Amino acid sequence: MRYDVAVIGGGVIGCAIARELSRYHLRAVVIERECEVGLGTSKANSGIIHAGHHGAEGSLKGELEWRGNQMWDALADDLHFGFKRVGDLTCAFDEDQRATLRQIMEQGKRRGVPGLELWGPERIRREEPHLSHDIVEALYAPTAGVVNPYEACFMLAESAVRNGVDLALERTVVGIRPSEKGFEIAAVVGDDATPELIKARFVVDAAGLHADAIADMVEAGGFRIRARKGEEYLLDKRLVGYVKRVIFPCPTPTSKGILVIPTYDGTLMVGPTATWADKDDLATTAEGSAEVFAGARKLAPGISEKDCIAEFAGLRAVSDTEEFILGPSRVAGFVLAAGMQSPALTAAPAVATVVLDALRDDGLELVAKDDFEPGVPAPVRFAELSSAEQRSLVARDPAYARLVCRCEIVTEGEVRDAIDRGARTLDGIKFRTRAGMGRCQGGFCTWGCMELLHERLGIPLTAVTKRGGDSYVAIPRLEGAA
């Protein structure tokens, strides 16, 4: 297997880079250790497309947040993932914090972020009646948005593949050797002890939490990535519409704080915490929950832990300098996209263009294809169709008449389509269709999704996993058991 470019890591950064590469006449591959793309930090975050005014002036994070922010509308139009601009409010509780709001507003204005406004208590109460009456002023930014981040990964990857990029899934990179014509990448496939060799003229390191280990394989690193955990808590649908915008407290120099987030699908989410953790520690904790709900209640006093229906944690990949490590490395042909902590989801489309510039500067020829196809077919969302549209769809294909998920109204046809478009796990189905995201959290639909994975992939039910690896759901019947 010989490629022009190998991208290591299929998170939002790797997928955005892959789609950008697919515009050109070249052979590219994304190497990802999980069985689907987007199952790392890119699926476990706040899902905010930051407005563009938060990041400090002169920082790469600040500059690329704003550049990336402006690229999401066109991407969502082409790729049909959930994205909408809901705006955000940053809230001040005292005079010092009011001064910080002004500083952030001026910073945003200098960067060109439009529509920034300061709101007094009356306007805040009118627009967001459930916020605390202790908030003395808030900075409104209409450019903030919310996105379904996992959908964005799936669709970016699907677009890249439709335009000729290869996906090498379930391959863990264990070694890279510089060669005469570029690099030889050793990737372990599943439990197989003999690594597969993938050859590429150029390598992009987009391996998230493990980008330091990948760079060290060719001595292109010299930086460390640490994991900073963020716990997030999803609330019951009862609270849909409780706030309309993303609500921030006033930031400190090290943190954006605990937020109240109306997710793309309307469900409210509160979080995240920020604590150092091991690179595989995805546990939520009693302390984290207490911190998140105390922080959320300060902004919106009616929020209660009693409304929590699901919780998760994600791990930020934090570099020694807290900045993105992006662009050429000390090894020719080896390009870095490391230290991609927040706002790297927002910045991802802009990060991809920076990586392509670095590859071009390193000697990669970028000849645009005439037949690049920017769009992908929109997935069916049965629950969002009119009754007439539903009837006509069912007449054409009865699989859309069989309900798999009752909470979110997801049909067998949609689950089948998700599997045909790449879902390999229960989480893969959940993140593509919402089956399992509702109030019962998969209590009803898990079995239906397992059966469909079994039928369409031709795998035993005992091989179905929640999120790949050994996250099996059913165990084989013990010999001799009744």
Ligand X SMILES: Cc1cc2nc3c(=O)[nH]c(=O)nc-3n(C[C@H](O)[C@H](O)[C@H](O)COP(=O)(O)OP(=O)(O)OC[C@H]3O[C@@H](n4cnc5c(N)ncnc54)[C@H](O)[C@@H]3O)c2cc1C
Just list the catalytic residues: 50
Contacts of ligand X in 223-262 (CB under 6 A): 230, 232
Residues 385-414 contacting ligand X, CB under 6 A = none
Residue matched to tokens 């000729």: 164
Whole-number minimum distance, CB 166 to ligand X, in Å?
A: 14
Residues 355-384 vs ligand X: string with x where CB under 6 A? ------------------------------
Site for ligand X in 1-60 (CB under 6 A): 8-14, 31-34, 39-42, 45-48, 50
Residues 414-453 that bind ligand X (CB under 6 A): none
Select the residue interacting with ligand X from 342, 390, 425, 446 (CB under 6 A). 342
Rounded CA gap, 98 and 366, in Å?
Answer: 48
Q: How far is the CB of 53 from ligand X (least distance, A)?
A: 14
CB of 366 to ligand X, least distance (A): 22
Rounded Cα gap, residues 184 and 197, in angstroms = 6
Q: Minimum distance between the CB of residue 156 and ligand X, rounded to whole angstroms?
A: 10
The helix/strand/coil state of 261 is: strand
Give the whole-angstrom CA distance, residue 454 versus residue 464. 7
DSSP character for 380? P
Give the nearest residue (CB) to ligand X: 11
Closest separation between CB of residue 115 and ligand X, Å? 19
User: In terms of CB distance, is 343 or 442 closer to ligand X?
Assistant: 343
Which one of residues 52, 208, 221, 442 is an interface residue with ligand X (CB under 6 A)?
208
Sign of the CA dihedral with 276 first, then 280, 286, and 289 last? positive
Shortest separation between residue 136's beta carbon and ligand X, angstroms: 26
Closest CB to ligand X among residues 53, 316: 316
Say what the alpha-carbon torsion angle 403, 405, 409, 411 is, to the nearest 10 degrees.
-40
Task: Among 69, 90, 263, 341, indicate the residue that binds ligand X (CB under 6 A).
Answer: 341
Question: Count of residues binding ligand X (CB under 6 A)?
Answer: 41
Q: How far is the CB of 98 from ligand X (least distance, A)?
A: 25
| DSSP helix/strand/coil, 334 | strand
Beta carbons within 10 angstroms of residue 362's beta carbon: 17
Strands (E) in 346-445, as ranges, are 403-405, 410-411
19 and 78 in contact (C-beta within 8 Å)? no
Query: Can you tell me which of 53, 245, 316, 434 binds ligand X, judged by CB under 6 A?
Result: 316
Name which of residues 275 to 314 contact ligand X (CB under 6 A). 314
Interface with ligand X, residue 173, by CB under 6 A? yes
Residue 3, token pair as written in the block:
């490629």
Residues 6+ apart with CB under 8 A from 278: 227
What is the C-alpha to C-alpha distance for residues 33 and 42, in angstroms, rounded to an integer?
A: 14
In the numeric block, which tokens belong to residue 328? 């050429």
Tell me whether residue 207 or residue 415 sits nearer to ligand X (CB atom).
207
Using CB under 6 A, which of 116, 198, 340, 453 touches ligand X? 340
Q: How many beta carbons lie within 10 A of that of residue 360, not counting itself?
A: 12
Nearest distance, CB of residue 306 and ligand X, angstroms: 23
289 close to 233: Cβ distance less than 8 angstroms? yes
Residues in CB range of 233: below 8 A, 6 or more apart? 269, 270, 271, 284, 289, 292, 293, 305, 308, 310, 311
Look up residue 210 and give its DSSP letter: G
Nearer to ligand X, 10 or 182 (CB): 10
- Check binding of 172 to ligand X (CB under 6 A): yes
The answer to the question of residue 343 lying near ligand X (CB under 6 A) is yes
> Of the listed pieces 20-28, 189-197, 343-351, 373-381, which binds ligand X according to CB under 6 A?
343-351
Structure tokens at 365: 């020829």
Q: Please give the residue ranges that form the binding site for ligand X (CB under 6 A).
A: 8-14, 31-34, 39-42, 45-48, 50, 172-173, 206-210, 214, 230, 232, 272, 314-316, 340-346
